[in-house]
Amino acid sequence: MAYIPISIEKYLKIHLKNNPSENKQDLRKRLDEALKSFRNGERCLCGNDIWVIGSASVGNACFTCITGESFPDDDYEIDTAIKKRESTKGRRHIDSIDPKKLSGFFDDEGYEINTELINKPSLCLICQKNDDPKEEILCNMNRYDQRDDKEFKCFAFKKI
For 22-68, give the secondary structure using H, E and C.
CCHHHHHHHHHHHHHHHHCCCECCCCCECCHHHHHHHCCCCHHHHHC
pLDDT of 21 above 60? yes
Angle subtended at Cα 102 by Cα 96 and Cα 106, rounded to the nearest 5 degrees: 75
Phi then psi for 49, rounded to 5 degrees? -65, 150
Mean pLDDT of the 131-145 span: 90
Domain annotation covers residue 154 = no
Domain annotation covers residue 88 = no
Domain annotation covers residue 114 = no
Domain that holds residue 14: 2-81
pTM strictly above 0.85? no
Q: Tally the domains of the chain.
A: 1
Domain annotation covers residue 141 = no
Confidence of residue 116 (pLDDT cuts 50, 70, 90): confident
Domain annotation covers residue 17 = yes
pLDDT of 89 above 80? no
Domain annotation covers residue 151 = no
Burial of 75 (0-12, 13-18, 19+ CB in 10 A): middle
Query: Are 113 and 105 in contact, with CB atoms under 8 Å apart?
Result: yes
What was the pLDDT predicted at 87?
59
What was the pLDDT predicted at 83?
65
In sequence order, the β-bridge partners of residue 105 are: 113
Domain annotation covers residue 158 = no
